[in-house]
Structure formats: C-alpha cells, structure tokens
Amino acid sequence: MAIDDRQIPFSLEAEEATLGAMLLDDVAPARVFEIVSEKDFYRDKNRWVAETIRQLQLRDEAINQITVAHELGKAGKLEVLGGSAYLASLLASCPTPIHAEYYARIVKKCSQQRELIIAANAIAEMGYNGIEPSEANAKALRMILELKQEGDKNKMQLFGDFALEYYPEFIEWIEGRFKPQGVLTGFKDLDQILGGLKPGRLCIIAGRPGMGKSQLCLQIAQRCAERGDIPAFFSLEMGKHDLLHRLVFAAARVNEQKLRRGNDEEKEAAANVLKDKLSELMALPMWFDDTASVNTQTAQLEMLQLLAKNNISIMFFDHVSLAGDTVKSGNEVQRIGEIMRGLKKIAKVCNIPIVIASQMSREVSKTRRDHRPRLEDLRSSGDLEQDADVVLGLYRHEYYFPKGAKGYQQDCKNFLEILVLKQRMGAGNPRGGLSTGIFYNVETGQMGDWYGDFPAKEVD
C-alpha cells in the first residue's frame, strides 16, 4: 500500500489569530473556549499559550501579553517558544479580535479532522493485526461515538436562548389542545397519559411471563409502521418466524390452536384471511433482528447503519435480561446497569425513543394478594428504575383468576391493565389515576383500544 503523504489538517494562521484575539480582548477567551479546548491547537507552543490563557481565565486574572509571558516564564516555556517576541507576533497575526469565534471554529474543525484520521488509522490497524471482527467492530464503534459526542458536547445555555428554540413547538402543542407529541403507541388512552414517546427516552414495559409484554411491543411497532414511523425491533427471545406468526394471527384475529382442530372448511377460510393479512404486513416498513444475546454495542452499530439509509423513528428491545455482556460484570445488577446505560446511549445518539421489555420479580405472584406490579418489582430494579423515563406495568386479572376460580370477574375478560409506575413527563389520564387498559385477546393476540367502562378493581 502506498504511503499516504497528504498533509495533516491544521491552520497555523487560525491558531495564531485565535491566540492573538484572546491577548487583545478580555472578553474573547470566554467566547473562544466555548468552541475549542487547549488540546485543539496543533503546534505545541500555541497549545502552551492556550493552556496558560485558560489557567489565567479560571483564576479570574488579567490576560494580556505581560501576564501570559510571566506565567510561561514560571513554567520554563517562554524561551522555548521564542520569548516575548513570539507573543508579540501573535498580536500582529490577529486582524481583529471581533472575529475570534470565527478563527476558533477553523481551529476546531482542523482538530476534529485530525481526530478522525487518528481513529481511522487505529481502525485500519486492527484489521491488519487480525483482531476478531466482533471485538474490532465494538472498538471502532466506540471510537466513532466518542468523536460524535465530542462534536455534540453540550454547553451551558441561557434559559431564554433554548426556550426560544423550543417556543414554536411549545405553542403548537398548546394550540393543538395538548395533543400527544413524539412517537405514538397507537393506543388512544395510553398516548393521552404518556403524551407520546419522546426521542432520547427509555420506556420499560414490565410484567410477569404471560402478561403480554412482547405482544404489546409488537403491536406498538406495527401501529408505528402503519403511520410511517419506522420501527427497529431487536427480539432476543423469539425468532423471526415466531414474530411473523404473532403479527399475522393477531391481525387476522385467528386462534391458531383452535384452527388446528378445525374442519377443512374453517381452515380454508382462515387461510385466505391469513394470506391477505400477511400481504398487508409485508408492505409495512418494519426492521427485525432476532440475534440471541445481542449486546448494546452491536445494537448501536446496527442502528447507526440503519439510520444512515432509513428514517428510523423508534427502537424495541425484547427483552433486557437476555442481552449479551458488553463488559464482564461482577453480578447481575452490574450487568443490567451496563445494558441500560448502553440503551440510554443509543437513545441519545440516535435521537429516538426505545421501548424495552423487562421481567418482573416473582414476588408479584408469590407474596401479595394484589398481583398488580409495583416499581420495586423490577428485576435488578436500581438501574432499570433509575435510567427509565417511563415504566409501564402489565396486569391481567384473568391470568391469576381464570374462569371458575374464586375471584374471577367476567368484566375482566380480555382486559389488559397498564399501570404507569413511573413517568418523568406526560399528560394526565382522562379516565383518572395513572392506569389505563386495552383489549387483549390472548387466544389470537389481537390488541386494541378498550371501549366502555373499565372493570372494577377487586377488593380483598
């Protein structure tokens, strides 16, 4: 391979003009250091001057040619960089300190280009050294994300400034009679409570096995796709064929178990409906990955690749405890914590909401007469509870009290109660309290809005 003799990106003119502006104008350092840091200067002696100016600024001391020369002299660097004459040349290199921010942006751009080259060379080196592709991909992704996060670094901002940016959206929400914003679940009452799923936020759907976590995730994903909000679905529990069966039979409202025992006429009628529904679903823009034990770094890499070509609006992760390790953790609590931090990073970097399925503790079924989930029932609940923006707990009364059992309620048939155990933001529930419910036919998988009064809650 030919040696790359292209010049490393840097601009000595911009570096010297930036330093000169800070020596000439007391206000310039504050404006400049909002854009660059000392390490962004390519030439060593320019970096030393920038570090000295920064130290004086932090100590709230005067910044000029004399004070900077004094500090450099104490550090033994003044003569090395060329003495006071070099500082004087910096003053002459600055056409006007008014444009300090413009010079600083050139310095920053060159610095980011150099960092990109360093990362690219490191990634290429891993390929030549025969590092395992999975390990190399994870390291490469980490390098790229660090570059992106550096570029997107948040700055302290005046309230009025960012309020002005949000003002049109806020006014539109008010004038729209507080309609839900963000990505909608497709279930009317639930959207009214949550106000929509917002970019960068995590929503956990939690419950014991058999409550309908995966099915609810699938139904929300389908409703998103029908509206044009493209979902990406990571299924760590079920394969793609199982997911297809669930979606198709729910859409057709067909009981697969009952169909197997039916006569030929019933099977033929159902087959026609199933084929029609499959054709409809095939036209929807939905992405699925059924890799078992996928880790969050791999998921993040896939999402970035998808986003490069598709306008992905929401991600689903079913479910959290089955995710693979990104690092070796000492125990399950630490492992779940690492997974949740990884998912939070994906939500932030990709700027999308993520819906996560999670198991509830067995205590829900064993020790309480009221089997409705609570926030503390989340497995490894410390990090799940802390990192989630919304936690929804699922409860089916007919699961615990089937027909014929003491406590059975006819009005709870096909009713899935959704308890909002946590939400940082969200509209009020029009039915009162922070719980709602949807229709859920377990035999077919069909879900939909619940019409009529909610079932009365049982009394011990």
End position of a domain, from candidates 103, 136, 151: 151
108 and 244 housed in the same domain: no
- Six-digit token string for 44: 């060593």
pLDDT at 432: 38
Contact 224, 183 (CB under 8 A): yes
Query: CA 337 to CA 326: how far, in whole Å?
Result: 11
Query: CA 41 to CA 107: how far, in whole Å?
Result: 7
Q: CA angle, corner 225, sides to 219 and 229, nearest 5?
A: 120
Domain membership of residue 160 (yes or no) is: no
Domain membership of residue 159 (yes or no) is: no
Alpha-carbon dihedral angle through residues 69, 74, 80, 81, given to the nearest 10 degrees = -30
pLDDT at 427: 45
Helices (H), 59-158: 65-74, 78-81, 83-93, 100-128, 133-151
Domain membership of residue 169 (yes or no) is: no
Question: Where in the sequence is the domain holding 137, given as residue range(s)?
Answer: 12-151
Question: For the chain, what is the mean pLDDT?
Answer: 84
What values do phi and psi take at 415, rounded to 5? -110, 125
- Six-digit token string for 183: 């990505």
Q: Which of 130-139, 276-285, 355-364, 419-428 has the highest mean pLDDT?
A: 276-285
352 and 267 housed in the same domain: yes
Banded model confidence at residue 2, pLDDT cuts 50, 70, 90: very low
What values do phi and psi take at 228, rounded to 5? 95, 5
**What's the whole-number mean pLDDT along residues 113-119?**
90
- Is 50 exceeded by the pLDDT of residue 234? yes
47 and 94 housed in the same domain: yes
Banded model confidence at residue 338, pLDDT cuts 50, 70, 90: confident
- Is 80 exceeded by the pLDDT of residue 155? no
350 and 210 housed in the same domain: yes
Burial of 378 per CB tally in 10 Å (0-12, 13-18, 19+): buried
Banded model confidence at residue 401, pLDDT cuts 50, 70, 90: confident
274 and 197 housed in the same domain: yes
Query: CA 98 to CA 159: how far, in whole Å?
Result: 25
pLDDT at 150: 62
Q: CA angle, corner 179, sides to 176 and 183, nearest 5?
A: 125
191 and 144 housed in the same domain: no
197 and 298 housed in the same domain: yes
- Is 90 exceeded by the pLDDT of residue 109? yes
- Is 90 exceeded by the pLDDT of residue 165? no
258-296 confidence digits (pLDDT tens)? 777 777 777 788 888 889 999 999 999 999 999 888 888
Domain membership of residue 83 (yes or no) is: yes
Q: Say which residue, 171 or 81, is predicted with more confidence.
A: 81
Query: CA 236 to CA 221: how far, in whole Å?
Result: 16
Banded model confidence at residue 182, pLDDT cuts 50, 70, 90: confident
Domain membership of residue 379 (yes or no) is: yes
pLDDT at 315: 96
pLDDT at 380: 62
Banded model confidence at residue 73, pLDDT cuts 50, 70, 90: very high
Q: Which residues contact 182 (CB under 8 A, 6 or more apart)?
A: 195, 196, 197, 198, 199, 353
pLDDT at 429: 39
**What's the whole-number mean pLDDT along residues 344-364?**
86
Domain membership of residue 158 (yes or no) is: no
Contact 320, 336 (CB under 8 A): yes
End position of a domain, from candidates 107, 131, 151: 151
Which residue shows structure tokens 């976590």? 213
Query: CA 105 to CA 111: how far, in whole Å?
Result: 10
Q: What is the DSSP letter of 405?
A: S
End position of a domain, from candidates 136, 151, 166: 151
Q: What is the DSSP letter of 141?
A: H
- Six-digit token string for 290: 């059924």
- Is 60 exceeded by the pLDDT of residue 460? no
30-55 confidence digits (pLDDT tens)? 889 888 989 999 999 999 999 999 99
| The model scores a pTM over 0.75 | no
Domain membership of residue 3 (yes or no) is: no
CATH number at residue 406: 3.40.50.300
- Is 60 exceeded by the pLDDT of residue 455? yes
Poorest-confidence range of 14-23, 225-234, 270-279?
270-279
284 and 431 housed in the same domain: yes
Q: Say which residue, 146 or 311, is predicted with more confidence.
A: 311
Which residue shows structure tokens 């619940």? 450
Strand order in the sheet with 435-440: 287-289, 230-235, 312-318, 354-359, 202-207, 390-395, 415-423, 435-440, 447-449
Indicate the number of domains in the chain. Answer: 2
- Is 70 exceeded by the pLDDT of residue 382? no
Q: Say which residue, 403 or 56, is predicted with more confidence.
A: 56
CATH number at residue 68: 1.10.860.10
430 and 385 housed in the same domain: yes
Domain membership of residue 2 (yes or no) is: no
**What's the whole-number mean pLDDT along residues 376-398?**
81
- Is 90 exceeded by the pLDDT of residue 232? yes
**What's the whole-number mean pLDDT along residues 171-186?**
77
pLDDT at 281: 92
Banded model confidence at residue 140, pLDDT cuts 50, 70, 90: confident
pLDDT at 431: 41
pLDDT at 184: 93
71 and 120 housed in the same domain: yes
Query: CA 234 to CA 136: how far, in whole Å?
Result: 22
249 and 328 housed in the same domain: yes
Banded model confidence at residue 5, pLDDT cuts 50, 70, 90: low
**What's the whole-number mean pLDDT along residues 364-370?**
67
109 and 230 housed in the same domain: no
194-211 confidence digits (pLDDT tens)? 888 989 999 999 998 889
